[in-house]
Amino acid sequence: MPVSVPVMLREAWSTVVPDMKDRHGPLPPLMLALTVVTGLVDAVSYLELGKVFVANMTGNVVFSGFAIAGAPGFSLVASLVALAAFAAGALLGGLIVHRAATHRGRMLMYALLVETACVLAALIVVSASGHPYAGGARFALVALLGLGLGVQNAVSRALAVPDLTTTVLTLTITGILSDSRFAGGGGSKAGRRVLSAAVMMTGALVGAVAVLHGHPRLPLLLALAILAAVTAAAIVLARADAPWVRPVVRK
């Protein structure tokens, strides 16, 4: 039997306003906020930096193949720069994860400080560069944003809040249907999963509208504002001493 609308709404609500006694405490809404950031920055990277993603590395691997085949509009160099920057960010995120392994709040705080600095630096590059972005400015933006999103992805993975990866939705969308009672599963948590997809699409929509209407800096400004707010929350949470701060044991 498919999940009813009231159940989905309750699942979505419990993600936005979580039970602080839950295993993940206040983390779910913060992960949602970072998912919006992903949509915003990928809108900028794809529409302004030449068909390249800074958060979706699957796309860049595919784009690299297109570029090698000679498909017009794709840059092998841009895709490789994004992949390299994201990999460096993931490595840095891994260092953060292992340094703050005993406290998820501190883990999130350190990651957000790095990511916020990367987006701020990208905004400075945008402000100092002419539009459209080309040459060194273009690759600097790809590198800075890829680095920040790599850190975000690594730490989100370590935080392991179910269905809130902040950057990848393929498995989330798959789970909506494959885990559903209609498919014979035990329940798909569709409310949270649909919400995760919706907020990423919202970030992408807002970012695309801003870029297409001549405001290319606006998505980065919004991303920076969201990151500043989430970072402020994470600084407070870094002092918390509650069950949710303990690391998740991976099976």
Strand (E) or helix (H) holding 98: helix 76-99
Give the pLDDT confidence score for residue 193 in this predicted structure: 87
Indicate which CATH number applies to the domain containing 99: 1.20.1250
Domain count, the chain: 1
Domain of residue 130: give its range. 5-245
Q: What is the chain's pLDDT, residue by residue, as a tens digit (251 residues)? A: 455 677 778 888 889 999 888 999 999 999 999 999 999 999 999 999 999 999 999 999 999 999 999 999 999 999 999 999 999 999 999 999 999 999 999 999 999 999 999 999 999 999 998 888 888 999 999 999 999 999 999 999 999 998 899 987 877 777 777 766 666 556 557 788 889 999 999 999 999 999 999 999 999 999 999 999 999 999 999 999 999 999 987 65
* Cβ contact 244:25 at 8 Å: yes
> Is 251 part of a structural domain of the chain?
no
- The answer for residues whose C-beta is within 8 angstroms of residue 218's C-beta and 6 or more apart is 210
User: Which pLDDT tens digit goes with each residue over 80-103?
Assistant: 999 999 999 999 999 999 999 999
> Is 250 part of a structural domain of the chain?
no
pLDDT > 70: what percent of the chain? Answer: 93
Single pTM value for the model: 0.92
> Is 188 part of a structural domain of the chain?
yes
Q: List Cα–Cα distances, 7 to 21, 175, 187, 192, in angstroms.
A: 20, 16, 10, 10
Whose tokens are 């100092």? That residue is 128
> Is 106 part of a structural domain of the chain?
yes
> Is 100 part of a structural domain of the chain?
yes
